[in-house]
Chains A and B, each alone.
Chain A
Amino acid sequence: MALLARVADRVYWGARYTERAEDTARIVRAFGDLYVDFPVAAGLRWDPLIAIGGTPPESVLGVGVHHADNGEAAVLHHLIVDSGNPGSIAASVASARENLRTTREVMPREAWLAINQLSRFVRAEAPMSMDRRSRDWFLGRVTEISRRLDGVLESTMSRDAPYRMWRLGRLVERADMTTRVIGVRAAALLGRDTTDPVRRVDEVEWMGVLRSLSALQMYQRAARGPIESGAVLRFLLFHEPFPRSVRGCLSEIRRELQSLPGPSPVLDALSMLEHALVACAPDTTDGQAIDADMDRLQTAIAALDRAIAERYMRTHTRQ
């Protein structure tokens, strides 16, 4: 079966937006969990979550504005319901639905039902998530329906080009999200003094990072020692068996590309990304260095994304 270049673009972005909504839900949920565990005196703030989406926190919270709730309401509004933020859960789900609405001829009907359900759910219930008690339930449902969508495709969709495009979108977004979470959290964590009482906090925060990538349990199984930054970073970057690790995503991207026609220019971009990954230094204690590593990875991911678009999604020039 043929796949139109225009449709390839929409399937790919449908997957990226779905993954973005799911990942944001995971991150916010894990952070909320961490927040209530945290001693008030430690002064944990919500601001850094905004930076994960690439937005400077001041643009959402204002410069020098005091937020009695440490920014909780404003940040959650920004990340969950704000339709003006293209990375918010509401906006991502709306974009995912629009992309699937316009690719219904290649996607299984049940997939449309699932995204339609997700979209209706988010429209109706997102405002409820401002309340702590229902937030967890809301975010959990977003993740669940997003997972169900992949389950539908897994079990009913032929393994041809549209399926590969969907997988590529999911994996590229997922790899990108992992680097963003690491980048922002590492910068905030590693700049600190490592005197004893804070070290305890540090461990809790790394646990939060693992949780926000749904990685805690798998990390515990894979790592023998306690939770410490180098081991966590090694796991999230290089532990191939874990599906949200950058290495794991890249290996799957390679497999998907090899099933698509003429992938060599995209494979070249993927190789550059793999080089950037190998060059990361997880054992440094310099937060800025980790942050810079993650920036380089994100740049290489953006280049991969462009290579995919260039190779498979150009519709306006004769081939």
Chain B
Amino acid sequence: MDERFAPDGTARRASQVLDDLVGRLGPTGLWERQRAAEAEILTMGITFTVYTDGDDIDRAWPFDVIPRVIDGAEWDAVETGLVQRLRALNAFIDDVYNEQRVIADGVFPAELLADSVNFRPQCRGVRPPFGVWAHISGSDLVRHSDGRFYVLEDNLRVPSGVSYMLENRAVAKRVFPDLFERQSIRPVDGYADELKRMLTALAPAGVREPQLAVLTPGVFNSAYFEHSFLAQRLGAELVEGADLVVGDDDCVYMRSIEGLERVHVIYRRIDDLFLDPEVFRADSLIGVPGLMRAWRAGNVGIANAPGAGVADDKVVYAWVPDLIRYYLGEEPLIDNVPTWRCMYPDERRHVLDHLGELVVKPANESGGYGIVIGDRATPEQLAECASAIEADPRNWVAQPILALSTVPTVIGEDAVGQRHVDLRPFILSGATSYVTAGGLTRVALPEGSLVVNSSQGGGSKDTWIVDVEVGGT
């Protein structure tokens, strides 16, 4: 699907903004703005880390200057759908750690939970505030050839990218100040404030002005830029595991220059397996011994709650429509991409027979790792994939190869071409819900490529939710 032009060649309603921009500036003018944006990114020090870079710890963030435009009316529906989805996912997580009604009622297979690498038995019986476990989530959306948005996956552990969404907007405003004045583009700035409000509400009872901390694995982590950025925007301390200590009173303290100071809410950006060596991986050097004790005692709020990842599994994903019906009694507002679950023999048969036409994904990898795209894989890769599926069917799902939508992108000095994009909006869940206006658009820069991950050569764009009626003309 071409997001700019309808099949009859006319510009889509919201894309008139783009006509204004691409048409008026032309490839040369756009290239000039592209260069300006890249210079701005260097000046602002917007970076990300690639593990294989050796000495070059931080690299300039890849950004394409042409914004991705989405019609406000369409976006409103997506927003409602995402809120619905997270309500169901949080109800599911709360249920599997407590009554497990969903299993008793035969909606979700018990063996799936038993095999889940992200189910944390240590979290059984915990009742976090508002019944919410996945406070901050990022769902990856794609637009198919029918023009509709589909959820490709849910990221409920430590989704990253929101800082880049905010920085992309800051850069775009500097590069196209005139456009922001003329168009009605929804602002994205409110995120940090909403995040702070949500985190503050997780404080132990009676604490009105909680000390917030962002827990990072450290300065070499690929998302360190974001950890630091969010701590700055929240006015939170950015802490590493070694900065924290859990006292005999089961409260969490940080080592400050004044001695130990209480921490009330932790936005953790490390995987829960590394959170507390007393409970999870004993060899974790980045965690905090005793943190789970403190959390279970209600002395510290943790977002996302340990164990939330149980619903961040590409197999559980296939059940989300059922979970929405089961917990909310509603029909899903945003569809899943059709998904075959290799654990079921008939679905597995279908996958093995059609490997060349499917995208095969391991259930628990992130960052695009381990994915096999059928029509681009060699026969050897397909054979290898088939035996991996046979060996461990529960760990594999398959989906049709989607024709991701395309948008105009600067591809060279005097050239603009169509490139594939996806979208990661961020959803906050707590006492109330909040969805970012748009999200982080990722673009696959090589022609025809569908891989958008920045760790694998993808770029990014600012995302404009445009209200056409309000904007006039």
Report which A residues bind B (CB closer than 8 A): 2-8, 98, 101-102, 104-105, 109, 112-113, 116-117, 120, 161, 260-262, 311-313, 315-316, 318-319
Contact = CB atoms under 8 A, between A and B. Distances in A.
B250 interface: no
Given A2-B258, A6-B240, A315-B243, A113 B45 contact: yes
B254 interface: yes
Contacts of A104: 228-229, 231-232
Given A105-B236, A113-B44, A2 B219 contact: no
Given A105-B228, A261-B257, 13 more contacts: A2-B258, A4-B256, A5-B243, A6-B255, A7-B238, A98-B57, A101-B219, A104-B229, A112-B45, A113-B44, A113-B45, A319-B255, A319-B260
B257 A260 contact: yes
A56 to B, nearest CB: 28
Contacts of A117: 43
B45 A116 contact: yes
B248 to A, nearest CB: 11
Contacts of A7: 237-238
B42 interface: yes
A102 B229 contact: no
Contacts of B260: 319
B108 to A, nearest CB: 41
Given A3-B257, A6-B242, A112-B45, A101 B58 contact: yes
B265 to A, nearest CB: 14
Contacts of A260: 257
B43 A4 contact: no
29 contacts: A2-B211, A2-B254, A2-B258, A2-B261, A3-B257, A4-B239, A4-B254, A4-B255, A4-B256, A5-B243, A5-B257, A7-B238, A98-B57, A101-B45, A102-B228, A104-B228, A105-B232, A105-B237, A109-B232, A116-B43, A260-B257, A261-B257, A261-B258, A311-B257, A312-B257, A313-B257, A315-B243, A316-B242, A319-B260
B240 to A, nearest CB: 7
A313 B45 CA distance: 27
A113 B232 CA distance: 14
Interface in B199-220: 211, 214, 219
B262 to A, nearest CB: 9
B320 to A, nearest CB: 35
A104 B224 CA distance: 11
Contacts of B177: none
Given A4-B254, A116-B45, A315-B243, A105 B211 contact: no
B239 to A, nearest CB: 7
A145 to B, nearest CB: 12
Nearest to A102: B219
Interface in B232-277: 232, 236-240, 242-243, 245, 254-261
Nearest to B232: A105
Contacts of A6: 240, 242-243, 255
A260 B127 CA distance: 41
B243 A4 contact: yes
A266 B211 CA distance: 28
Contacts of B211: 2
A109 B58 CA distance: 18
A111 to B, nearest CB: 11
Contacts of B258: 2-3, 261-262
Contacts of B231: 104-105
B133 to A, nearest CB: 26
B250 to A, nearest CB: 16
A238 B81 CA distance: 72
Contact of A5 (B45, B229, B256): B256
Among A2, A104, A311, the one with the most B-chain Cβ atoms within 10 Å of its Cβ is A2
B196 to A, nearest CB: 13
Contacts of B239: 4
B421 to A, nearest CB: 29
Given A3-B257, A116-B45, A318 B245 contact: yes
A8 B211 CA distance: 18
Given A8-B257, A105-B232, A113-B44, A2 B237 contact: yes
Contacts of B43: 113, 116-117, 120
Nearest to A261: B258
A302 to B, nearest CB: 21
A3 B259 CA distance: 10
Contact of B237 (A4, A102, A112): A4
Contacts of A3: 256-258
A319 B256 CA distance: 10
A5 B42 contact: no
The 8 residue pairs across chains A and B that have the minimum distance between CB atoms: A105-B231, A116-B45, A2-B256, A105-B238, A312-B257, A261-B258, A104-B228, A105-B232
Contacts of A312: 257
Contacts of B44: 113, 116
B383 to A, nearest CB: 46
B42 A120 contact: yes
B255 A315 contact: yes
Nearest to A162: B257
Nearest to B218: A102
Contacts of A313: 257
